[in-house]
Structure 1
Amino acid sequence: MAINEAQLTTWSSLGSVQQSAATYQTIRGVLDHKDSAYYPKLYQIFLQGSYGNDTNVWRDSDVDVVMRLTSVYYPDTSSLAPTEKANYDHARLPTDYSWALFKQEVAGWLTKNFGAGVDASGKAIYVPGSGNRRDADVLACAEHRHFITYPAIGNPSYREGIIFWKADGTQIINYPKQHSENCTTKHQNTKSYFKPTVRIFKNIRNRMIEDGRLQEGIAPSYFLEGMLYNVPTNLFGGSYQQTVINCFNHIYGLQDKSQLTCANGIHYLLRHGHSVCWPPDDHNTFMEAFKQFWNDY
């Protein structure tokens, strides 16, 4: 039987807002302090993840903060014609600063301010919570530019993202600002149904994990947002129950899911062996578990 509207309304609600906002302001204040080694460099600080996209639920803990170095960028010139690549090579200036040094300095500054519990061994720098401050993950990254054109005269055009490397040397390129902007546009176009629907799917995922129906890590929030981003706008609305049914049935019934994209509109959603894509087997596992949970509820 279907899950009733009252329960879905509860699951659609935002999780902790004030505590996460206070955590972000505290972390941001430390990151942006003039005494840090990297302060003379150019950088941007912004939220990403569930708190940044207003899709957080009560079980969410970590506040995800992006610390993006912008005085140095890493290029992708593979789309440039040979003459434009030559223009780029001529204009490119050398630099003695790097993402690796930036991450090292950010981690050192966070450790100095928040103690030995700070852990920089993962892809993000973990800052443990204390008192009312939540745990936080600070992603130290650099600007990435995928150049589309590079004329001899005038400004080049490029797609702007972030880049960082995992401990094993794997390079990660992603587009958090495009993801956030597209989710907001989708939310507006669905008469404010998109983000509450994401929270419903996340809460159901969390219940399935608690009940032993789904393994932790099979359905990250980022990919759930991406999946629902692909649902046509007209399938949202009326009621949460009908919206959830419409969204699930649309994705479940697609014969070809290969062209679905992440919410950034750039990466494919479902691919094997890509760190920025959802493994299709994990997606299928989630969908079947969701179907069973819904029917058993």
Structure 2
Amino acid sequence: MTIPEHQLAAWSSQPEAGPSRDTYQSVKEVLEDRGSPFAGKTSDVFLQGSYGNDTNVARDSDVDVVSLTSAAFYHNAATLPADQYSAFVRTYGGAAAYTYQHYKTDVTTWLVKSYGSGVVPGKKAIFVPQGMNRRDCDVLPAMEYRHYSRFGTISDHSYASGICFFMPDGTQIVNYPKQHSENCTKKHQQTNKWFKHTVRCYKNIRNYMIDKRLLQEGVAPSYFIEGMLYNAPNSLFGETFQDTIVETFNYVADADRHQFKCSNGIHSLIGNSPVTWRAGDCQLYLDAMRKLWQGWS
């Protein structure tokens, strides 16, 4: 027996947006306050993750907010041909005085002042606890990242614009949340608005499997589930949720997933870097989902 249509439809639904919207507005206003120690340095504040992409489910409690500064930027220019890198160095000079750690410290200090001692900096983001009309929130201080494909002059170059941050051990994490969000929205439109409903369905199936101890927590992060489905052909979405789940699952299960891209269209989905899904974890998720589907009663 398979999971019935009514259950899949229920799992595809999106919770009411009010609390997350209010959380984002509160935090955004604090981060954009002209009295902050980084006033004038923050170039953009935006949602990322499940709430930013409208793929959130009931268990997604934290709202993820990026606080981006373009006061300085990191880059891959050193990987360009020598003449292009030389031109880059002549244009931009050496390292910037305002570093990522400066920015994270400034943002942390300001959030503590604004929300109290419950604010706690973590390895990646800064945790802001829930309050009046506000959910728990993770604020990610980030700096602009430029992935150059070519550099001639300050007016003649090409790069993909992303964000980066650093782990406590110095590991740099680079991602492209704007491209991710834009691509997911296009995918949703191209699938006659089935894509985001299907992502929520897959995520709720994961949560159900965790509750039933069929899958360990952390094996299938929402970001990777979204990326996995981004690679499924548009023609496999639609008609019914049962058809959509079967068609997309079978495609993913049979495909060479090492060829998949994340939803940002830049990173590989499967790999061993900090921004990729381990092949073994992806397989564990698929195996557990197949077992649940076939054994549903």
Check whether TM > 0.5: yes
Please give the alpha-carbon distance, in whole angstroms, between the structure 2 residues aligned to 1:244 and 1:152: 49
Please give the alpha-carbon distance, in whole angstroms, between the structure 2 residues aligned to 1:149 and 1:59: 43
Identity of aligned residues (%): 46
| Paired AA for residue 26 in structure 2 | T
Q: How do 1:113-262 and structure 2 match up within 5 A?
A: 113-152=114-153, 154-254=155-255, 256-262=256-262
Q: Match of 1:288?
A: 287
| Paired AA for residue 274 in structure 2 | S
Q: Say whether the 8 Å CA contact 2:32–2:42 is kept in structure 1.
A: no
Q: Say whether the 8 Å CA contact 2:129–2:136 is kept in structure 1.
A: yes
Q: What's the RMSD between the two structures over aligned residues?
A: 1.2
Q: CA deviation at 1:40?
A: 2.5
| Paired AA for residue 122 in structure 1 | K
Please give the alpha-carbon distance, in whole angstroms, between the structure 2 residues aligned to 1:288 and 1:76: 38
Q: Say whether the 8 Å CA contact 2:149–2:158 is kept in structure 1.
A: yes
Secondary structure of the 1:150 match is strand
Per-residue Cα deviation, 1:12-39 (whole angstroms, up to 9, x for no partner): 1012311100100001011111110000
Secondary structure of the 1:289 match is helix
Q: Match of 2:34?
A: 34
Q: Say whether the 8 Å CA contact 2:50–2:56 is kept in structure 1.
A: yes
- The number of aligned residues is 295
Q: Match of 1:18?
A: 18
Q: CA deviation at 1:110?
A: 0.4
Per-residue Cα deviation, 1:139-181 (whole angstroms, up to 9, x for no partner): 1010001111211473321111111111122110111111111
Q: CA deviation at 1:245?
A: 0.6
For structure 2, the 5+ residue unaligned runs are none
Please give the alpha-carbon distance, in whole angstroms, between the structure 2 residues aligned to 1:92 and 1:13: 48
| Paired AA for residue 261 in structure 2 | T
Please give the alpha-carbon distance, in whole angstroms, between the structure 2 residues aligned to 1:118 and 1:90: 41
Please give the alpha-carbon distance, in whole angstroms, between the structure 2 residues aligned to 1:153 and 1:144: 16
Please give the alpha-carbon distance, in whole angstroms, between the structure 2 residues aligned to 1:247 and 1:153: 44
Q: CA deviation at 1:184?
A: 0.5
